[in-house]
Amino acid sequence: MLSIKEIFIYVGSRLGDKSKTLKFINNVLDEVYNSIGHDKVKVTTYTAKDTKINRCEGCLGCFLTGKCSLDKEDDMKTIKDNMLRSDIIILATPVYVHNVSGDMKIFIDRISYWTHLMRLSGKIGIVASTSGGNGLELVNNYLYKIMTYMGVKIKGKFGVCEDNIDENYIKSVEKFSRVIIEYIKGKKVETDDILEAVFKATKNTMEKLRPYKSAEFQYWKESKLIECNSFKEVLEMLR
């Protein structure tokens, strides 16, 4: 019997039920539920409208101590806990001037120190964007880069024009849902060349911090990442 998989979703839109980005994600989830039912997966969805996430103050405290003082003042502690517990991470945003929404950027800023920790290693990720015109590829590539540096194995980049429920939209929904379903059914997370390169570069940086009282090196030591010689070894350790 398969264990229940958890999915974390953050949608960087303030439009709530009127959000076309959220509608796209919900269309995907409907396909998942129709295929495997509701009992094989637990989904936690956050949107910019229903969460309080304060702007990063640029104090660098998270890099120096491994903690963010703002987590006591908003929803980020709960959000981070849900991300760490989840098996699949989905970030979705409307395109604003060829970039992520302001709320998505604030969300990323608040977990930016995780890029030094590869904090989400062992998880798969999917990124998605919606646009009335263009900018989809630029936005998806940015989200791909950020999540990869956090250790996430990206298995899909989906961009749709929000006003056109056309063949491309339908195919994107179907393909998106298939990616989720195959991991719910037990497909293993695998490494790739980009993750290996990120791991090697980040480990080299951590080794330079070894002589100092660094929260980042301490995390690498306690999590045993520093003992691994490749990201493949990290994944094997986490299984």
Per-residue confidence (pLDDT) for residue 1, from 0 to 100: 58
Q: What is the pTM of this model?
A: 0.95
Mean pLDDT of all residues belonging to the chain = 95
Mean pLDDT of 150-172: 90
Tokens (6 digits) for 183:
């991991």
163 pLDDT band (50/70/90 cuts)?
confident
The model's pLDDT over 44-54, given as tens digits with 9 standing for 90+, comes to 999 999 999 99
pLDDT > 70? residue 195: yes
* 130/101 Cα distance (integer angstroms): 11
User: What share of the chain in percent tops pLDDT 90?
Assistant: 91
Q: Are 78 and 53 in contact (CB under 8 A)?
A: no
β-strand 41-47 against 88-94: which pairing, if any? unpaired
